[in-house]
Structure 1
Amino acid sequence: MTKNVFIIAAISGFIATAVAAQTTTFNNEDASADAVEDLEEQIEEDRERDIGRFGNEGREIGSYGSLAVRGTSVSSDGDNTTDVGLGLRYGTFDGINGLDITASLAYGEVDGEKTKDTLLAGLDYRRDLTATFFAYGKLEAAYDNLADSEGEFTQDIFAGAGLGYRIYNTADTQWSVQAGPGYRAAKRVTSMEGDPRETEDISEAAASVSSNVFRSLTETTYVTNDTDVIYSETATTVTNELALNVAMTDTLSLRTSYTTNFNSESDDDLSDAVNTLGVSVIYNFN
């Protein structure tokens, strides 16, 4: 038996894999439940992205925000699975200074035992210096309360600042880059023996480079590609998100994205990166 407990702000998604393509309910009675679980894992951290939030270009004066909350409960063959996901974005702009706050929470249980407990949060400040240059400061934090393998991080915080430049800034095309120094503070698991688990503290200098591309296709459709690279002595992380966004109403938009996450400490090359395909319906509020 499969049942949805609640869906708030209409967020949904899908993930296509070779296994899913070859398996149907006709030859595997658990195929639908497995597909739901795959779906939840892939889209829970897929966060909404608004037009022109990089370096303040294209922003309107005032505040904006979006909220996505999703919860499901699946009962199949005596196993009970519960998943909850929350995505929040809020920002303001006064004509010179822009501030964005984002947060993403994922929690899950199987038969009363936690299977996921993560929090991602970010704060991004930008100040326009000229028509093409801007300054920025950023704070990114990730917490995984269930990190259970040696080398995984229970906490990873990056703070940085720097300068940005708008390469293109027209009504249809925007491309901005930014770079600067930073600082990384993390806790990495060294052993799971004993209670609590053993961790080591990492404190080191770091640097970040980011690129943001926006291209309008129609009045209601646009493509974005965001790339973020954070380098430190411990590891280099790369995140790239390519997305197609379609505005359906003033408050609802459809977003299809393909995200690649690479970590040099755990991945030998880009072929080992984690790739996520997701489709989301986002509720925007102003």
Structure 2
Amino acid sequence: MKIARLAGAIAALGLALQSGAALAALPESVRAMIDAAIATGDETKVRTVIDLARTTNPADSAELDAIIAAYDVQLAEAKAAAAAAKEQEVRTAGLFENWSGKGEFGAFRATGNSFNTGITAGLTADRQGIDWRHRLTARVDYQRANGVTTREQFLARYEPNFNLSGNVYVYALGQYERDRFQGFLGRYAASGGIGYQVFNADDLKLSVKAGPAYRVTEFTDGRSESRIAGLAGVDFDWNITKRLTLTQDTNAVAETGGSAVAIIDSRNTTLDLITGLNAAISSKLSARFSYAVEYDSNPPPGAVQTDTLSRVTLIYDF
């Protein structure tokens, strides 16, 4: 609707210019060409047409200058009105409005010397406000080999952050994990701290954050442990081409992007590192290959320190 209003405003400008006295000296064909370009709402096309008109009608440069000056004023007003309407829409949006996200699913099966089946599923949802951003993340990995469950991992995370000024923001984080094969039935973490957006271009985004954390772990042997820790993270997204994206995103544990999350305490350090490569299939669908490393410096008895997992999945944007 906003694009339509912008196109309408520019079209109205074209009609006004067409009837103005300032265009009297321009040939009808040139005038019609400029009006048609303005009516499309394509700024690049308008400027290209007027540049061509200058070349073919050098004597009318002053009139063409007046046209482009009026066009710039009208365009700025239309953009300002659209931006104000968008801001008002965001400010008045309900709790369940303005959410966007990605759903991900992958599966595999092997037969022969062994019989393996596995699934991986993930979901990330974001709600972007004027100063606030909310992110919900969930991931499930499940695998059976020769009739025995060999992987059963669940993760859920909620992270709101608030923009302080410029590239600086503060964040809060609540996280739940379950992985009985790594020795814990539940691991809960809460953190809050400060972050900085190093790069925020359309094709390159990088942010870092750090803060204290508090973690509670419930082990499979019945023990429970609570500790104060620290959290550090790096979020990275690089659009290599229009169809190929490399991701290394902190806290994006559901693999809409890669992730690198480190939680450190004096007794145990854990690191989740997920690197992904996304290839667009269509505007809504993409294929993804990712490689995950999960490191636990002091795992429960019988568990190893490092797990790795490769995934091939499909992602749907909504």
What TM-score bracket applies, with the shorter chain setting the length?
0.5 to 0.7
Task: Give the aligned length.
Answer: 209
2:219 corresponds to: 188
1:209 corresponds to: 232
SS in 2 for 1:199: coil
Q: CA deviation at 1:83?
A: 4.3
Q: Which moved more, 1:159-168 or 1:226-235?
A: 226-235
**Which of the residues 245, 262, 269 maps onto 2:295?**
262
Give the 3 Å change call, closer, same or farther, for CA 229–116 of structure 1 in structure 2.
closer
TM-score normalised by length of structure 1: 0.63
The unaligned stretches of length 5 or more in structure 1 are 1-60, 190-197
Of all paired residues, the percent bearing the same amino acid is: 24
Q: Which moved more, 1:63-72 or 1:228-237?
A: 63-72
Measured in 1, the distance between the counterparts of 2:239 and 2:115 equals 44
**Which of the residues 99, 110, 117 maps onto 2:134?**
99
Q: Does 1:244 align with 2:244?
A: no
Larger relative contact order (C-alpha < 8 A, sep ≥ 6)? 1
**Which of the residues 222, 226, 234 maps onto 2:267?**
234
1:225 corresponds to: 248
Q: Does 1:64 align with 2:95?
A: no
TM-score normalised by length of structure 2: 0.58
Give the 3 Å change call, closer, same or farther, for CA 283–153 of structure 1 in structure 2.
same
Measured in 1, the distance between the counterparts of 2:290 and 2:107 equals 21
Measured in 2, the distance between the counterparts of 1:200 and 1:116 equals 22
1:3 corresponds to: none
Measured in 2, the distance between the counterparts of 1:275 and 1:73 equals 18
**Structure 1 or 2: more strand by fraction:** 1
Name the amino acid aligned to 2:316.
Answer: Y
Q: Is the 8 A contact 1:204 1:233 kept in 2?
A: no
**Which of the residues 273, 278, 284 maps onto 2:311?**
278
Q: Is the 8 A contact 2:291 2:308 kept in 1?
A: yes
RMSD, aligned CA: 2.9
Instruction: Spell out, residue by residue over 1:7-38, the C-alpha distance to the aligned partner (whole angstroms, 9 max, x if none).
Output: xxxxxxxxxxxxxxxxxxxxxxxxxxxxxxxx
**Structure 1 or 2: more helix by fraction:** 2
**Which of the residues 179, 197, 209 maps onto 1:166?**
197
1:154 corresponds to: 185
